[in-house]
Chains A and B, each alone.
Chain A
Amino acid sequence: MEMGAGTFHTATTLRALGPDPWNAAFVQPCRRPTDGRYGENPNRLQHYYQYQVILKPSPPNIQQLYLDSLTAIGIDPMLHDIRFVEDDWESPTLGAWGLGWEVWCDGMEVTQFTYFQQMGGFDCKPVAGELTYGLERLAMYIQGVDSIYDLDYNGNGVSYGDIFLDNEKQMSEWNFEIANTETLFDLFNKAVGECENCLEAKLPIPAYEQAIKASHVFNLLQARGVISVQERASYMGRVRDLAKGSCEAYMVKNGWAA
C-alpha cells in the first residue's frame, strides 16, 4: 500500500493503541509525491525505504539499543557525530503527536525517534517508542557514496540508480504534471466512501487502510497543486476524521476504554 511513512502502517498506528505490549520491525516503502526531484537531488526522492521499529512500552534503554543498532550496521560513533536534535512529531492526519528527536549523523537526519503520546486522538497507554531509520541515507554512510543513486544495491554491480533513477524521473513527472486530477478526486471520494462503509460494518482494519489510501491520494492532489489553501484544511480534516474513526473503532472492537 502507498503511504508516506512507516508510521501509517497498521502495525504502528493501530498497534500503538491499547494496553498490549507490541514489538515490531519491518521495512516500509514510502511515497511522498511532493518530495520528487526528477532524480536530480542526491538525497531527496519521492519513493524510498524506511526501517520501522516500534517498541511498546518504550524500554528504559531504548536510546542505547538504538545506538547499538547503528554500531551493528557499521556506523562508528567515534568517527561519526551522532546527535539527538529536538524534533517533535505531529500528524494532523492521524490525530497523533509525540516528542522525540531527529537523530543526526554528521548533520544528516538518519532516524526519527519518537515517543508516541497520542494516536487517533487517544492517549497512548502505555507509550510506544518509534524508531524510523532512513535506509538509503544510512547506506550512503556505510558505503561512503555522495548520492543515493550511487548506492551498491546487491554487491554485484547493480546500483540503486539502475533500479530507481528512471522510476524517480517518471514518477516525479506523473506526480507533478500528468496525473489526472479528476481521477484523483474520484479516487479520494471513493476511498472516503469505502472507509465509511467499513466503519459502519465495524471493520476497523480495512477502514483504516481506506483512510491511508485517501491520505495518499490527497498527497498526489497536493503535488498537482490543485488544492487551494482553504480546501487543504478541509481535506486534511476529512482524512483525520477517517483515521480517528478507524482508531476509535479499533479501540471499541478490542474493548478498550479511552
Chain B
Amino acid sequence: MADFLLELLSEEIPARMQAKARVDLERLFVAQLSDAGLKADAVTVYSTPRRLALIAKDLPAQTEAVSEEAKGPPEGAPDQAVDGFCRKNGVNRDQLEVRDVKGRPTLFAVINKPGRDTKDVLSEAIPAIIKAFPWPKSMRWGDASVSTESLRWVRPLSGIVAILGDDLVECEIDGVTSGYETVGHRFHHEGMITIGNAGDYAEKLRACHVLLDQAEREAIVREGAAKAASDGDLELVADEGLVIENAGLTEWPVPLLGGFDSAFLDVPEEVIQLTARVNQKYFICRDKSGKLAPNFVCTANIDASDGGKAIVAGNEKVLAARLSDAKFFWELDQKTALEDHAKKLSNIVFHEKLGTVADKVERVVKLAEWLASLEGTGLHRANPEQTQLAARLCKADLVTEMVGEFPELQGLMGGYYAEKEGLPEAVSNAIRDHYKPVGQGDDVPTDPVTVAVSLADKLDTLLCFFVINEKPTGSKDPFALRRAALGIATTVISNTLRLPICKILEHHYDLVFNDVKAADLAAKKAANPGEDSMQAFGHVGEKPATKLPKEILGFFADRLKVQQREAGVRHDLIDAVFALGGEDDLVRLLARVKALQAFVETLDGENLLAGYKRASNILKKENAEQSDAKPFSYTPEKAEKALIDALDAAQSNVTAAIEAEEFEKAMTALADLRAPIDQFFEDVTVNDSDEDKRTARLGLLARFRSAVHQVADFSKIEG
C-alpha cells in the first residue's frame, strides 16, 4: 500500500474554473483506477492558481491477477476456426485445454492476466487524464503549436509531479515529463522544490509560501478580510463568491484594508459595490451605523516587504480611478432626462422579429394603462398617469452610460435617475422594481404602479415570443420566458390580483401582432407580398388570438406546479382544475386547488375518488360517454332513487358554492354524494339485462361524473 501524489503545474488557472477542475480531476482519476481494477482508500484534490493536485491514499502496489476462460470450437474443428480462436485470445494452440461440454470435447483457452504494477497503470493514466480533461476553454502554446493537434491545456502546462510511495511514476506528454520537482510561490521562493512523497508535499509547499488547500486559503480570506475591516472599526460586507475568487487568485493570501475619498459616496452604493467587486475583487465595508464606508479590503498574494503599504496605496489609486469613472457616468447620465434617454430606445433591437425596445415600451405603456383600468382586479388602485409615465420610462436606463458599463444595474439606475429628476416616488419605484421578482426568493412588487408595469412588461414578453414561436424547449429558454411566467404568477398570487389572464392576452394580441407584422415587413422589405406572415410562424387552425392565450395558460399551469411544490400543493390537483378549461384567474384557481387538496385527503374524498374511478371505468367500458337525461321507464330501486336525489341536490349546491367561490362548501356538497354512490354500487346492477335499466343507470353514472367535474377533472388525480 502506498500513497500517490499528482501535481499538474501550469501557468495561472482562472479562479472561476478551479472548483470544477478539482471535481473533474478526481472523477477522471477514479475512473482510470477503476478501469484497472484499482481503488484508493481516499482521494483528495487541491487547486491553487498554478497547480491542480491530487493525493490518493493506500493504493495497492499491484492490480489483482485475473484468470479468464474462453470457450472455443469443439475438438477436431477445422484448423481455420481453431487458429482464429487462438488469435483472438492471444494463446498458442498447444495452450488450449480440452473440456467436456455436455458430452462433447470442447477447446478452451485459459487467459491469465497477471497483476500489473500500479506504477505502470498510473503512468498510462496520467497522460490519458490530461488529454481528456474537460476545460471550458483550452489552448495551444510553444514550439509544439505548429500543429493544431498539439496538447491543449487551460494555460501552458509546465510540469508534472507523480510519486507513488517514494517512487517516481514516469510519464511524458508532449514534452512535459514527470519528476520530483515543482515550484514554490512565484516571488517568495526562487528555484525548484524537491518533493519526497505525498506526505511531505503540502508542508514543503507551505515552507515555500504556497498554501495548497483552497479551504485554508478561503478561511484566511474570509476571516482575514473581516479582521482587517474590524481593525479599522468597520464591518465587512460578507461575500462568499469573493472569498472563493480571491482564494483562487492567490497562493499566499493577505487581506489588506484600504480607503477612498468619501466624495465618491455620492454615487449610489450599488455602483460602488459593483465597481469594487466586479472590477477589482474587493470587499466593501460598512461603518457602525450600517452606512457604506469609504473603505475596501483587497487580497494580496504576498507578504510584502513593507507590510503592504505600497500595495494598499496602489489599490487605492486604482479604485479611485474606477470610482472617478463611475462618478463621471453618474453625472453625465443625469444631464439627460429619462424621457430623452428613452428616445434612443428606438436604436436598440428588442428582437429582430419584434422590433425595437421603443416598440416594446409602447406596448407596455398601453397594456399597463389598460391593466390599471380593469375594475375589480386589484390593479385599478394604480394611478393611471403614474402608471403611464413609469411604463414609458421603465427601459430608459438601458441607454445610459452606467447601465452600459454595468448591465446588472438595469432598473436600479433608472430608479435613481427618476428620483433625481424629482418624479413621483411611485414612478421611480416602478422603474426600479419592474423587473422583479427575478427568481425564487426575490422581492415581489406590491406597489400598484410597479405591479401594473411589471405585469405588463412580462405579459408582453411572454405573448411576443409565443407569437413568433420562440417557446422554451427542454432546458433551452433563451428569452427567460419561464422566469417571466413564474414572476407573473408569483406577483398575481401574492397580491391576490383577480386577473383574467386569457382575456388580457387576447386584448393585447393585436398590438403584438401588428408590431410583428411591421418587423416582418421591414425585414422582408416587402419581398414576398401577399404571404400571410402568421403562417410563417406555424399558426394554423384556430385563430392565434384565442389559441395562444390558452397555450400560455398551460405554460402558467406548469410554472404554477413548480412554484407551488414547495408549499406542498399537489401538481396533479393543479392539472385536475386546469383541465376543466376556462379558468384563467390564478388566485381563484389556486383557492380551488387548495380546497380540493384538503378534500381528497379526507376519507370522504378518498372514497368519492374511488367511486368516481369505478363509474368512469364502467362508462369507458360500455362506451357510454353521453348522459341523456331520459325519464325513467321503471321504478328506480331505493339506492338508485337515493343517488338521483343526492345528484339533484349536489349539482345545484356545488354550482352555487363555486359561483360564490366558496370552494370548501363545494367540496362538502360533493362529499354528500359519497354515501349514495357507495350504496348504489353495493345494491344496484348497472349491467342489467333490461336494456332500459342499463341505459338509465349508465346515464346516472354519467351524471355523477359530470357533477364531480364541476369541481375538478378527477381523472387527472393520482392515487
Q: Which residues 99-145 in A have Cβ within 8 Å of B in the complex?
A: 99-101, 105-108, 115, 117, 123-127, 129, 140-141
Q: Are B301 and A80 in contact (CB under 8 A)?
A: no
Find the A residue at minimum CB distance from B282: A107
Bound form: Cα–Cα A245–B286 in Å: 55
**A 173-216 to B, binary, CB cutoff 8 A, 1 in contact else 0:** 00000000000000000000000000000000000000000000
Using a CB-CB cutoff of 8 Å, which residues 146-187 of chain B contact chain A? 146-148, 154-156, 158, 186-187
Is B580 an interface position by the 8 A CB rule? no
Interface string of B293-328 (1 = CB under 8 A from A): 000001011101110001101110111110011001
Max count, chain B CB within 10 A of own CB: residue among A37, A126, A129: A126
- Does chain B have a CB within 8 A of A81? yes
Residue contact A126 to B146, C-beta cutoff 8 Å: yes
Bound together, the chains give a CA A82 to CA B156 distance in angstroms of 19
Query: Contacts A63-B11, A108-B318, A230-B349; is A99 near B310 (CB within 8 Å)?
Result: no
Residues of B within 8 A of A41 (CB): 321, 324-325, 328
B114 within 8 A of A: no
| Interface presence of A27 (CB below 8 A) | no
Known: A78-B187, A99-B155, A123-B148. A83 touches B301 (CB 8 A): yes
Bound: A40/B300 CA distance, A: 29
**Is the beta-carbon distance between B320 and A42 smaller than 8 angstroms?**
yes
In angstroms, how far is the closest chain A Cβ from the Cβ of B411?
A: 19
CA distance A41 to B327 in the complex (A): 10
Q: B12 to A84, Cβ gap below 8 A?
A: yes
Q: Does residue A254 face the partner (Cβ distance < 8 Å to B)?
A: no
Bitwise, A63-99 to B at CB < 8 A (1) or not (0) is 1000100000000111111111110100000000011
Q: Does B194 contact A (CB under 8 A)?
A: no
> Which residue of A is nearest B137, CB measured?
A99
Contact-residue bracket for chain B: 35 or more
Tell me, rounded to whole Å, the shortest Cβ–Cβ distance linking B292 to chain A.
19
List 8 additional A-B contacts (Cβ < 8 Å) besides A126-B143, A146-B317.
A41-B324, A57-B145, A60-B142, A78-B304, A82-B187, A101-B12, A108-B318, A124-B140
Listed by A's residue number, 7 A-B pairs whose Cβ atoms lie within 8 Å are A19-B146, A84-B11, A85-B12, A86-B12, A99-B139, A117-B140, A229-B348
Considering the chains assembled together, what is the distance between the CA atoms of A58 and B348 in angstroms?
Answer: 42
When A and B form their complex, which 4 residue pairs have the shortest distance between CB atoms, in order from nearest? A106-B314, A86-B14, A84-B12, A228-B347
A10 to B534, CA, bound (A): 51
A107 to B319, Cβ gap below 8 A? yes
**Are B311 and A81 in touch, CB under 8 angstroms?**
yes
Given the interface pairs A86-B14, A126-B145, the reply to whether A117 lies near B315 with Cβ below 8 Å is: no
Residue contact A44 to B325, C-beta cutoff 8 Å = yes
Query: For the complex, what is the distance from the CA of A77 to the CA of B282, rounded to whole Å?
Result: 21
Is the CB–CB distance between B314 and A37 below 8 Å? no
Q: How far is the CA of A125 from the CA of B143 in the complex (A)?
A: 9
List B residues 256-274 near A (Cβ within 8 Å).
none
In the complex the two chains form, is B156's CB within 8 Å of A60's CB?
Answer: yes
Docked CA distance A134–B217 (Å): 31
Residues of B contacting A19 in the complex (Cβ-Cβ under 8 angstroms): 146
Chain B residues positioned under 8 Å from A81 (CB to CB): 300-302, 304, 311, 314
Residue of A nearest to B310 (CB): A79
What distance in Å separates the Cβ of B145 from its nearest Cβ neighbour in chain A? Answer: 4
Q: In whole angstroms, what is the CA distance A59 to B49 when docked? A: 21
Q: Which residues of chain B are near A79, meaning CB under 8 Å?
A: 304-306, 310-311
Q: Once bound together, how far apart are the Cα atoms of A63 and B12, in whole Å?
A: 10
Q: Given known contacts A126-B143, A127-B142, is B301 in contact with A108 (CB within 8 Å)?
A: no
CB distance from B8 to the nearest CB of A (A): 16
Interface residue? A43 (CB, 8 A): yes
Looking at A59, A67, A108, A124, the one whose CB has the most chain B CB atoms below 10 A away is: A108
Which residues of chain B come closer than 8 Å to A84, judged between CB atoms?
Answer: 11-12, 49
Residues on B with C-beta less than 8 A from A140 are 317
Do the beta carbons of B145 and A125 come within 8 Å of each other?
yes
Note all chain B residues with C-beta closer than 8 A to A43. 317, 321
By beta carbon, the residue of chain A nearest B13 is: A86
Interface status of B131 (Cβ within 8 A of chain A):
no
CB distance from A256 to the nearest CB of B (A): 12
| Residues on the B chain within 8 Å of A126, using CB | 140, 142-146
B466 at the interface (CB under 8 A from A): no
- Contact status A80-B310, CB under 8 Å: yes
A229 touching B347, Cβ below 8 Å: yes
Q: How far is the CA of A140 from the CA of B305 in the complex (A)?
A: 20
- Does B311 contact A125, Cβ atoms closer than 8 Å? no
Nearest CB in chain B: distance from A95 CB, A: 16
Q: Contacts A84-B11, A86-B16, A125-B145 known; A44 to B347 CB distance under 8 Å?
A: no
Give B256's nearest chain A residue, CB to CB: A81
Tell me the complex Cα distance, A166–B348, Å: 35
Determine if B555 is an interface residue (Cβ-Cβ < 8 Å). Answer: no
- Point out the residues of chain A lying under 8 angstroms from B298, CB to CB: 107
Chain A: minimal CB distance from B247 (Å)? 13
Tell me which residues across on chain B come within 8 A of A67, comparing CB atoms.
186
* A82 vs B252: C-alpha distance when bound (angstroms): 12
Nearest neighbor of B188 in chain A, beta-carbon distance: A78
Confirm or deny: B416 has a beta carbon within 8 angstroms of a beta carbon on chain A.
no
The distance from the CB of A237 to the nearest CB of chain B, in whole angstroms, is 15
Chain A residues with CB below 8 A from B310, complex form:
79-80, 106
Q: How would residues 316 to 348 of chain B score, 1 for a CB under 8 Å from any chain A CB and 0 otherwise?
A: 011111001100100000000000000000011
Q: Which of B11, B305, B324, B349 contacts A229 (CB 8 A)?
A: B349
Q: Hey, which chain A residues are within 8 Å of B15, CB to CB?
A: 86
B487 to chain A, nearest CB (A): 26
In Å, the complex CA distance between A43 and B146 comes to 39
Q: Which residue of A lies closest to B317 (CB)?
A: A146
* Neighbour of A77 across the interface among B141, B187, B280, B315, CB < 8 A: B187
Interface check B249, CB cutoff 8 A: yes
Q: Which residues of chain A are within 8 angstroms of B137 by Cβ–Cβ distance?
A: 88, 99
- B321–A44 CB distance below 8 A: yes
